[in-house]
């Protein structure tokens, strides 16, 4: 019984409240590069999950669309990405601090690492990294906070 109790304390389940460490990520974010606009939006943590989406357009043409969620389950926190026309992929949290989080899945082709780092109240950098074509590649997405736009009543 004592061994069972000791083992449980070492591998304690992640509680939904721990997701609150990512509250700074909630809201609407935007990156503009010429006529290319990437928008990312995250709901506040609730029920053990943060729900998000990302959309990239060039002019009026859709380039990328992705539904995402960060959820707690078992002994970990997971980033679950469902890109348009691609299989869903999961990445487990590898490092969490008050202003950053990194998720990893070494078995995934590219990316194998996804990170978010808060730079200030109104800016963050998201990045993806991994091996592609035999070399390490890293892409950064510098976002600025924008007002979340909703439909007019």
- The yes-or-no verdict on residue 122 having pLDDT over 50 is yes
Per-residue pLDDT tens for 39-69? 999 999 998 999 999 999 999 999 999 999 9
For residues 11 and 39, the model is more confident at: 39
Three-state SS annotation for the chain: CHHHHHHHHHCCCCCHHHHHHHHHHCEEEEEEECCEEEEEEECCCECCEEEEEEEEEECCEEEEEEEEEEEEECCEEEEEEEECCCCCEEEEEEEEECCEEEEECCCCCCCCEEEEEEEECCEEEEEEEEEECCEEEEEEEEEEEECCCCCCC
Answer whether residue 74 shows pLDDT above 90: no
Domain locations in the chain as residue ranges: 13-146
Identify the pLDDT of residue 6: 39
Of 2-6, 22-26, 53-57, the poorest mean pLDDT is in 2-6
Average pLDDT of the residues in 81-101: 94
Whether a cis peptide bond, with omega within 30° of 0, leads into 62 is no
Does the predicted model carry a pTM greater than 0.75?
yes
User: Which of 2.40.40.20, 2.40.128.20, 3.90.550.10, 3.30.830.10 would CATH assign to domain 13-146?
Assistant: 2.40.128.20
- What phi and psi values does residue 86 have, to the nearest 5 degrees? -140, 160
Model confidence band, residue 14 (pLDDT cutoffs 50, 70, 90): low
Backbone angles phi, psi at 90, to 5 degrees: -120, 145
């Amino acid at each position: 019984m004592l061994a069972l109790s000791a083992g449980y304390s070492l591998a304690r389940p992640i509680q939904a409240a721990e997701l609150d460490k990512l509250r700074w990520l909630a809201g609407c974010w935007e990156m503009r590069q010429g006529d290319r606009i990437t928008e990312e939006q995250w709901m506040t943590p609730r029920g053990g999950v943060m729900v998000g989406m990302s959309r990239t357009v060039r002019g009026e043409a859709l380039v990328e669309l992705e539904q995402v969620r960060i959820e707690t389950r078992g002994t970990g926190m997971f980033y679950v990405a469902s890109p348009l026309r691609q299989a869903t992929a999961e990445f487990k949290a590898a490092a969490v601090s008050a202003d950053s989080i990194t998720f990893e899945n070494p078995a995934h082709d590219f990316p194998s690492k996804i990170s978010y780092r808060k730079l200030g109240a109104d800016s963050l950098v998201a990045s993806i990294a991994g091996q592609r074509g035999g070399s390490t590649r890293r892409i950064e997405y510098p976002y600025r906070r924008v007002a979340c736009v909703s439909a007019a009543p």
